[in-house]
């Protein structure tokens, strides 16, 4: 069997607003649009994914929060409705997803060998979180690839952002080995915003773009610092400053997603493809991708 | 003006073990028995509303209030999914939810009611309502805990609840769903070997329970910042349940306190407490933080005093 490989890594923020703005038939709410910079960036990255040969998407989501280890979805199908607990007015999504259970079990097994506390989730009533659904829908609206969803263990809450960085790195290395041993071609998805301070009020029309801006300039400057490093291919440096960035901007990187993905991809030293940056209800959201194949790597923006 | 009629308050933990696996340890069984005592106490009262503040329902856009008349789903906990599913169908007091939202807005808060099929009611609320009001005999209302809210906002939210109870002429039981210390073990454990995560957490929990036992709710409210620093995992900006509970129940120490159970829940501190309004106050503390009546939002200090 050929060694498995990571064919693309995607930073894919999950504000439900972007799904709401797309008006897919699965979502009950209706919008007049909005957040085009993000959505068009997502659309372009989704087109690139259509050109890539892969077997499964592996997504690390901060909205399945676990405190007792790292959990993996462990049943082949989940069909239900996901309602965002924070923005139920815009996200009530009927989903029908398939899971690559073999790959999930392999990751769970190898992570256990790395000393990471793990658990397979096999309750059929479990509801899939809106982070998983938003990122996966925007990257693959046809939903024609199986997923592996990995919970985010909240080490940043229990210990510190430094411990989160260490633990997420270990998990990334374990997942990379599991992928290699599986023989599969995999797309990794790190589902989160960068800076993550929200406005606590919402305009009567959520998609009123005249009201949308970053929460404050400090958040923006930090976000741009990371974008610059990503453009320069300095992902080791990004992960090194991750604790500081996370604390300064109360960033959603606290869940460990970007650290996990970069560790799994051996900290790329090539430029990230930048697909778009825009605020959503004050938070900073970047769509980016890391393509290990130099021949297909692009300068997008 | 007459005082709102709050029959008593209950402080109880959000973890699912007392509902799903009470037989797994003596401690979980004692917590379940304590819930049962509360259930009977509610049944014997003349309550016509159960008002729940849940720390496991975080919100961002202000304060969300459940207003679906009959929310129904099968809930599964993110961590403890292996303990089983929690099917529920509750009866909500929609009229009260609307009144609560209006009262909150009148005091300057951002608030909205939530009434969507399939909305994910949180583990803590599901556990509390299924154990305290299993037959839906009494209509309920649930309010979220805004993740950015601090003391002023939370106290004003409590006062808004009080306004709504008074305006509606309800006889309410106030339920706060929250752990004491909330650090769980980060490994899977044998439930029969469950214990409080550390001696420090245990000492602080017992001190808090002394205050509860003496009926010193307002004193606990005033100690919230200290409690947050000492025994709360820093997930949110502050330990808010005592602020909300005291503000809702009248900001005093005149209660008869009953600590019905105190046990470990995967390392965190779980206590079931009843506070019944009484006539005598206790306590020897003086406080200097302002009492807040109206929420004015951020003070906007960043652009003041600039050269």
Q: Give the model confidence (pLDDT) of B46-96 as tens digits.
A: 999 999 999 999 999 999 999 999 999 999 999 999 999 999 999 999 999
Q: A301: closest CA among A272, A267, A280, A279?
A: A272
| Chain A residue closest in CA terms to B182 | A158
**Of A64, A67, A121, which has the smallest distance from its Cβ to B186's Cβ?**
A67
Rounded to an integer, the average pLDDT of A17-40 is 98
pLDDT number for residue A119: 98
Provide, as residue numbers in chain A, all residues whose Cβ is less than 8 Å from the Cβ of B57. Answer: 85
Q: Hey, is the C-beta of A79 within 8 angstroms of any chain B C-beta?
A: no
pLDDT number for residue A255: 92
HSE-up (13 A, CA, CB side) for residue B89: 2
Provide, as residue numbers in chain B, all residues whose Cβ is less than 8 Å from the Cβ of A89. Answer: 116
Q: In chain B, what percentage of residues exceed pLDDT 90? A: 89
Q: Hey, is the C-beta of A87 within 8 angstroms of any chain B C-beta?
A: yes
Rounded to an integer, the average pLDDT of B270-279 is 95
3-state secondary structure at position B207: helix
The domain ranges of chain A are 5-290
Rounded to an integer, the average pLDDT of B278-304 is 77
Structure tokens at A165: 């960085």
Using CA atoms, how far residue A237 sits from A88, A242, A263, in Å, is: 37, 8, 12
Provide, as residue numbers in chain B, all residues whose Cβ is less than 8 Å from the Cβ of A198. Answer: 60, 148
Q: A30: closest CA among A115, A89, A94, A100?
A: A89
Rounded to an integer, the average pLDDT of A281-292 is 98
Provide, as residue numbers in chain A, all residues whose Cβ is less than 8 Å from the Cβ of B186. Answer: 67-69, 117, 153, 158
User: What is the rounded CA–CA span in Å between residue A4 and residue A185?
Assistant: 5
Helix H or strand E encompassing B156: helix B151-168
User: Is A66 close to B234, i.e. CB distance below 8 A?
Assistant: no
Answer whether residue A240 shows pLDDT above 70. Answer: yes
pLDDT number for residue B306: 63
Rounded to an integer, the average pLDDT of A80-108 is 97
Answer whether residue A245 shows pLDDT above 80. Answer: yes
Provide, as residue numbers in chain A, all residues whose Cβ is less than 8 Å from the Cβ of B110. Answer: 200-201
pLDDT number for residue B270: 98
pLDDT number for residue B302: 66
User: What is the rounded CA–CA span in Å between residue B49 and residue B74?
Assistant: 24
pLDDT number for residue B275: 98
* Per-residue confidence band for A256, with pLDDT thresholds at 50, 70 and 90: very high
CA distance A173 to chain B (A): 21
User: Which CATH number, 1.10.3370.10, 3.30.420.40, 3.90.1170.40, 3.40.830.10, labels domain B5-277?
Assistant: 3.40.830.10
pLDDT number for residue B237: 80
Stronger pLDDT, B151 or B3, i.e. the higher one: B151
* Per-residue confidence band for B284, with pLDDT thresholds at 50, 70 and 90: low
User: Is A69 close to B116, i.e. CB distance below 8 A?
Assistant: no
Using CA atoms, how far residue A116 sits from A68, A110, A111, B135, B276, in Å, is: 10, 9, 5, 42, 46
3-state secondary structure at position B88: strand
Provide, as residue numbers in chain B, all residues whose Cβ is less than 8 Å from the Cβ of A200. Answer: 60-62, 110, 146, 148
Asked whether B50 and B132 are in contact (CB, 8 A), the reply is: yes
Answer whether residue B132 shows pLDDT above 60. Answer: yes
Answer whether residue B283 shows pLDDT above 70. Answer: no
Rounded to an integer, the average pLDDT of A124-147 is 98
Asked whether B99 and B167 are in contact (CB, 8 A), the reply is: yes
Evaluated on CA atoms A221, A225, A227, A232, the torsion sign reads positive
Q: A242: closest CA among B228, A149, A255, B45?
A: A255
pLDDT number for residue A238: 98
DSSP for residue A210: G
* Per-residue confidence band for A157, with pLDDT thresholds at 50, 70 and 90: confident
CA distance B144 to chain A (A): 10
Which residues are A61's β-sheet partners? A151
pLDDT number for residue B3: 87
Q: Hey, is the C-beta of A280 within 8 angstroms of any chain B C-beta?
A: no
Asked whether A11 and A289 are in contact (CB, 8 A), the reply is: yes
Structure tokens at A23: 């008006």
Answer whether residue B307 shows pLDDT above 70. Answer: no
Q: Hey, is the C-beta of A204 within 8 angstroms of any chain B C-beta?
A: no
Using CA atoms, how far residue B247 sits from A62, A81, B9, B163, B244, in Å, is: 33, 37, 12, 11, 5
Helix H or strand E encompassing B37: helix B26-44
* CATH code that applies to domain A5-290: 3.40.830.10
In this predicted model, what pLDDT tens digit does every residue of A180-212 receive, in sequence order? 999 999 999 999 999 999 999 999 999 999 999
Asked whether A97 and A78 are in contact (CB, 8 A), the reply is: yes
Using CA atoms, how far residue B1 sits from A75, B4, B166, in Å, is: 59, 9, 10
Answer whether residue B41 shows pLDDT above 70. Answer: yes
């Amino acid at each position: 069997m050929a060694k498995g490989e990571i064919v693309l890594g995607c930073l894919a923020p999950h504000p439900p607003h972007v799904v709401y703005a797309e008006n897919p038939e699965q979502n009950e709410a209706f919008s007049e649009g909005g957040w085009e910079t993000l959505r068009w960036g997502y659309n372009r990255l989704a087109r690139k994914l259509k050109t890539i040969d892969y077997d499964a998407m592996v997504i690390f989501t901060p909205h399945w929060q676990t405190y007792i280890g790292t959990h993996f979805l462990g049943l082949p199908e989940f069909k239900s409705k996901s309602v965002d607990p924070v923005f139920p007015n815009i996200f009530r999504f009927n989903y029908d997803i398939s899971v690559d259970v073999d790959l999930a079990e392999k990751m769970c097994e190898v992570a256990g060998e790395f000393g990471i506390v793990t658990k397979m989730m096999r309750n059929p009533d479990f509801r899939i979180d809106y982070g998983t659904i938003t990122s996966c829908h925007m990257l693959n609206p046809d939903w024609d690839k199986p997923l592996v969803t990995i919970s985010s263990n909240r080490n940043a809450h229990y210990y510190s952002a430094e411990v989160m960085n260490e633990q997420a790195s270990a998990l990334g290395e374990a997942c990379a080995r599991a992928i290699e041993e599986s023989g599969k071609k995999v797309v990794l998805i790190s589902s989160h915003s960068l800076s993550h301070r929200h406005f606590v009020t919402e305009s009567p029309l959520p998609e009123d773009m005249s009201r949308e801006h970053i929460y404050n300039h400090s958040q923006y400057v930090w976000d741009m610092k990371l974008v610059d490093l990503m453009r320069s291919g300095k992902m080791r440096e990004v992960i090194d400053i991750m604790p500081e960035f996370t604390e300064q901007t109360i960033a959603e990187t606290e869940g460990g997603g970007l650290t996990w993905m970069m560790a799994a991809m051996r900290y790329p030293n090539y430029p990230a493809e930048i697909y778009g940056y825009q605020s959503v209800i004050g938070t900073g959201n970047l769509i980016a991708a890391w393509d290990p194949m130099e021949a297909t790597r692009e300068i997008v923006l | 003006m007459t005082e709102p009629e709050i029959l008593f308050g209950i402080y109880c933990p959000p973890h699912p073990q007392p509902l799903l696996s009470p037989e797994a340890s003596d401690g979980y069984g004692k917590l379940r028995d304590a819930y049962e005592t509360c259930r009977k106490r509610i049944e014997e009262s003349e309550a016509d509303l159960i008002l729940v503040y849940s720390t496991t329902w975080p919100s961002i856009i202000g304060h969300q209030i459940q207003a679906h008349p009959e929310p129904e789903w099968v809930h599964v906990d993110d961590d403890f999914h292996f303990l089983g599913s929690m099917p529920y169908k509750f009866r909500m007091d929609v009229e009260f939810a609307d009144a609560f939202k209006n009262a909150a807005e009148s005091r300057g808060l951002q608030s909205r009611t939530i009434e969507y099929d399939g909305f994910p009611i949180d583990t803590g609320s599901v556990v509390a309502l299924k154990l305290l009001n299993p037959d839906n005999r009494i209509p309920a209302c649930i309010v979220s805990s805004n993740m950015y809210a601090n003391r002023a906002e939370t106290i004003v939210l409590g006062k808004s609840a009080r306004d709504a109870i008074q305006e509606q002429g309800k006889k309410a039981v106030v339920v706060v769903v929250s752990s004491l210390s909330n650090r769980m073990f980060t490994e899977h454990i044998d439930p029969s070997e469950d214990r409080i995560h550390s001696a420090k957490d245990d000492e602080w929990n017992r001190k808090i329970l002394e205050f509860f036992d003496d009926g010193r709710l307002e004193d606990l409210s005033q100690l919230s910042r200290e409690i947050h620093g000492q025994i709360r995992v820093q997930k949110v900006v502050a330990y808010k349940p005592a602020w909300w509970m005291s503000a809702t129940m009248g900001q005093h120490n005149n209660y008869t306190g009953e600590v019905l159970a105190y046990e470990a829940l995967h390392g965190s501190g779980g206590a079931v407490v009843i506070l019944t309004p009484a006539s005598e106050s206790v306590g020897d503390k003086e406080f200097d933080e302002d009492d807040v009546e109206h929420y004015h939002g951020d003070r906007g200090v960043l652009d003041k005093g600039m050269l």
